[in-house]
Amino acid sequence: MDGSTPSARPRFELQRWLMHPATRPVWLLVLLLVLWDLAVRVFSIPPYLIPPPAAVVKQLVAEWPMLLQQSLPTLYATLGGFIASAVIGVPIAMWIAYSRTVESFVYPLLVFSQSVPKVAVAPLFVVWFGFGIVPKVIAAFLLGFFPVVVSTVQGFKSVEPDVIDLARSMGANPLKIFLKFRLPQALPAIFSGLKVSVTLAVVGAVVGEFVGANSGIGFVLQRATGTFDLPLMFAALVVLSMMGVLLFLAVEVVERWLMPWHASQRHDLQATA
């Protein structure tokens, strides 16, 4: 039996729940909302510049069915661009990591492609592919592709050559070396790139919707901007942020499922124990 009294146990459990790592972002969000509301009231900011949080919440509740429906095209474009980034980016990164010749040719072109503003080239995708989902997927892909490549290249280059030499001396074939040594060593970096990529893919999908679309959260943002409906604009931004957070958490869940052995996962388990 422990030394705590029965009356102290509920208080301890409440304190433990309040300080749980999963609830800390909620308290930070509440604090930011309070500061937002205080700033609007203290500085007398007019609603046409920054709406109060209550107006945004009211609009979010009132327009939730519409916002949920409009978020689906954005979600589809985001997932399409993100999956394309992973499927194309990881093999190209492996190709770059294993060949200095390929790296010298391809890597500068990738860096150059990132210096081109996506908003500037997005209208070309509409001209080439029309007003369907394809231009949005391409815009999401272009924004999410580079982080996957950079992180994956660094992951595969971080494998110690001595470990590979030891595996070869013990008779391991190239496939076994890849599956047992190279890939596990590179997985943390790959998932770091994927988590950055999935959030940038959301931005890319919205950029594609800004250029030419009649649906999606980007279309809602454009319509709200044209009518100066700031509460609707902020409500759409909230939905967009929620989408990015949920996709990020989904990638993180897959990461924890595939890498329970990694030091970061063991640290998380110890912290929550």
Are 207 and 92 contained in the same domain?
yes
Q: How far is CA 250 from the centre of its chain?
A: 9
> Are residues 20 and 53 both part of a single domain?
no
Dihedral of alpha carbons 200, 205, 207, 208, sign: positive
Separation of alpha carbons 166 and 173, rounded Å: 12
In a domain, 227, yes or no: yes
Verify that 71 and 203 share a domain, yes or no.
Answer: yes
Whether residue 164 lies inside any domain: the answer is yes
Dihedral sign from CA coordinates of 206, 208, 210, 212 = negative
Q: What is d(CA 273, CA 194) in angstroms, rounded to the nearest whole number?
A: 28
Q: Are residues 22 and 67 in the same domain?
A: no
pLDDT tens digit sequence for 205-218: 888 888 777 778 88
24 and 127 together in one domain: no
Is there a domain that residue 2 lies in? no
Can you give the residue range of the structural domain that contains 229? 49-272
Dig out the tokens for 260 from the structure. Answer: 């329970």
What local confidence, expressed as pLDDT, does residue 139 receive? Answer: 86
Query: What's residue 273's pLDDT?
Result: 46
Radius of gyration of the chain (CA): 24
Residue 160 lies in a domain: yes
Give residue-wise pLDDT tens across range 102-152.
777 777 887 777 777 777 777 777 777 777 788 888 888 988 888 898 888
Which pLDDT score is estimated for 272? 45
Distance (Å, rounded) from C-alpha 265 to C-alpha 208? 36
pTM: 0.79
Would you say residue 3 lies in a domain?
A: no
The count of residues in the chain is 273
Same domain, 57 and 34: no
Phi, psi angle pair for 52, to nearest 5°: -70, 155
Confidence of residue 261 (pLDDT cuts 50, 70, 90): low
Residue 247 lies in a domain: yes
Q: Is residue 1 part of a domain?
A: no
Are 165 and 103 contained in the same domain? Answer: yes
- State how far the Cα of 91 lies from the Cα of 61, in Å rounded to an integer: 44
**Residue among 149, 129, 138, 146 nearest 78 (CA):** 138
